[in-house]
Amino acid sequence: MDLPTVTGYRSARTPADLALEPGERFLAGGTWLFSDPHPDVTGLVDLTTMGWTALEESAAGLRVAATCTIAELAAYRGAWRAQPLFLQSASALLASFKVWNVATVGGNICRGFAAAAMTSLCTALDGVAEVWMPGGDAYRVPVAELATGNGTTALRPGEVLRAVDLPAAALRARTALRRIALAERGRSGAVVIGRLDEDGAAVFSITAATERPGILRYDRLPDAGALRADVHALPGYYTDPLGAADWRRHVSAELADEIRAELAA
């Protein structure tokens, strides 16, 4: 969709270029920005010209730049045990390969939708976001705390998601993902990811079914009854045309139990 109110465009190359003028918005992939009318937007500041390296691997883990495309992340072939989760999570996104090659990891997270597949991935792997503030300072926050509702985030005006750091301990874990939607190619009604760490600790993340990510942590894999009860007790299950809240709660528990059995095998 055209944005006829836009009269200015800037390529950001330094942190100073990220200071927004009235009416300006940050632009990365633009797949959401150009999908709806935005009559209040009069200028665009392109983040892709900042030159951030898409993926940086180190002993500490993997740094994913906010401007890394979903296609780049899905194609990543590292030595981490959890690496298959990247493609699995990307495949949970309701998008064509054309969108994959333009849409960014940061854009998917910052839009804050419950069914954001990159939020599913990063919360399951204990991703930590680095956020740049307008004054030049930065802070770090778990990705699970960025989403505050279905379409809202904790980001304040002018703040920029620089990158997400995925820790090595989580990347070395065994993982499993389950997804369900009412339609074969429909938007996710629930995405559940399980993780079994090397020390035996277990993490389950529930997204798409709840308005904000739900994270369950255990010292060891829980039994079926305890896990089901904890999934049912999570807040934020919601109803929309793509699924009722009670259905989302029920299928999330079923998917979590499937994952628990897979990780226990």
Q: Determine the Cα–Cα distance for residues 105 and 52; give it in Å rounded to an integer.
A: 13
Q: Architecture of 174-264 per CATH?
A: 2-Layer Sandwich (3.30)
Buried b (16+ CB within 10 A) or exposed e, 50-83: bebebbeeeeebbbbbbbbbbbbbbebeeebebe
Helix (H) or strand (E) holding 55: strand 55-58
Spell out the per-residue pLDDT of the chain, length 265, in tens.
578 888 889 999 999 999 999 999 999 988 878 878 888 888 999 999 999 999 999 999 999 999 999 999 999 998 999 999 999 999 887 666 677 789 999 999 999 999 899 999 999 999 999 999 998 999 999 999 999 999 999 999 999 999 999 999 999 999 999 999 998 777 899 999 999 999 999 999 999 999 999 999 999 999 999 999 999 999 999 999 989 999 999 999 999 999 999 999 9
pLDDT at residue 198 in the model: 98
Question: Residue ranges per domain, the chain?
Answer: 8-50, 55-169, 174-264
**What fold characterizes domain 55-169?**
3.30.465
Q: Determine the Cα–Cα distance for residues 132 and 14; give it in Å rounded to an integer.
A: 12
- Give every CB contact of residue 230 below 8 A, 6+ residues apart in sequence: 216, 222
HSE of 106, CA atoms in CB hemisphere, 13 A = 28
* Side chain identity, residue 74: A
Q: Hey, do 55-169 and 174-264 end up sharing a CATH topology, with the first three levels equal?
A: no
- What is the pTM assigned to this prediction? 0.95
